Amino acid sequence: MVHESQPSQVLITGAGGFLGTAIAARLRRLGIRVRGLSRRHYPRLDELGVEQVQGNIADSAAVARAIEGCDAVFHAAAKAGIWGPLDEYQRTNVEGTRVLLEQAERFHVRKLVYTSSPSVVFNGRELEGVDESTPYCRQFEAAYPRTKAQAEQMILAANGRDLATLSLRPHLVWGPGDNNLFPRIVARAQKGRLVKIGARDPLIDPVYIENAVDAHLSAITRLEPGSKVAGRVYFITQRETIRLWDMVNQFLAIAHLPPVSRSVARPLALAAAGLVELAYHVTRRDEEPPLTRFLVRQLSTSHWFNNEAAERDLGYRPAISIAQGMQLLAGDFHHKTHPISTDRPAVR
């Protein structure tokens, strides 16, 4: 019989990232020792009492230093984005995963939870309430989902008698501390680059950060060699949907910006994105283009997922609603943009 158990010492790859830091904070509150592997040093991890190892996930020596003595791993390190040379994504997302699995075997790690992405099954069309039986995309338009799919398959194939693995696919993680989704949307709006694509307002199910952390901790607790969750993949959802542009406009309202009002037809946006990509390829520009075909399809199609498997097997159920999450994000944003001064007494 397999028993649920908490690890005694955990390695988090990508510990300095949004999700990695949130997982580390929760583990430390539970009294679990945490070691983080990141490319640079993070003062926030020092504050949490996380032991930090600097290094690249594809560097065997760095991974060995980080993983020794750990009995469980959260693999959250990844090169994200919708643009860039394939070899850079391959090195971090695929080669890095291969190195991590080798070192996990070498140091007798018992369980490893991988943070994947629903984009591994995104084929440019509507994905409404689909479950884990949905096949991987056959032709990827971006290096990120392509390499994440490769890495996920490696993780699942590594599941065995000594090392138990599983993969989680949280969708569009957001909330206080977000250094990607929220700030990117705000930055695009400030530059006048936010435009609705197509006539529809597609449905999505973005996952609030603490709900994503709940799912990861539920997974690591239930995961053991031979357990029913070992070798499995799970969509992690908010269990409620929201219109994509409703969410964008709520983000903009928090940042005191006007809602998106302009729109462009989907075929025209796809054609424009193709020309932009061509221009960036020809001129070999490294920075992310303002528009790509992958982004156009993401912004003009519904993508929300079935959460039943995660509820049944992991006991995961989101505790914080989208409305509650928006309130928490607004409070965090207001605090950071209008901090309370400690230099003078408050006015009474």
Give Cα 217 to chain centroid, integer Å: 15
User: 115 in helix, strand or coil?
Assistant: strand
* Residue 342: pLDDT over 60: no
Active-site residue, from 42, 89, 114, 144: 144
Closest CA to 306 of 170, 125, 173, 128: 128
* 42 noted as active-site residue: no
* Residue 344: pLDDT over 70: no
CB 74 within 8 A of CB 11: yes
Q: Please, what is the average pLDDT of the chain?
A: 92
**What is the structure's pLDDT at 343?**
37
* Residue 348: pLDDT over 70: no
**What is the structure's pLDDT at 249?**
96
**What is the structure's pLDDT at 290?**
87
CA distances, 128 to each of 125, 131, 214, 317 (Å): 10, 9, 24, 19
Per the listing, tokens 């060995």 go with 64
pTM value is 0.92
What's the rounded mean pLDDT across residues 245-273?
A: 95
Phi and psi based region of residue 199 (left: phi greater than 0; alpha: psi -120 to 50; beta: remaining): alpha
**What is the structure's pLDDT at 286?**
79
CA distances, 71 to each of 5, 76, 124, 160, 223 (Å): 11, 16, 39, 15, 12
Closest CA to 103 of 53, 33, 146: 53
Encode pLDDT of 46-93 as tens digits.
999 999 999 999 999 999 999 999 999 999 999 998 888 899 999 999
Encode pLDDT of 102-119 as tens digits.
999 999 999 999 999 999
Encode pLDDT of 112-167 as tens digits.
999 999 999 999 899 999 999 999 999 998 999 999 999 999 999 999 999 999 99
What are the structural domains of the chain? 9-177+205-240+305-319 (3.40.50.720)
- Supply angle C-alpha 113, 118, 124, rounded to 5: 160
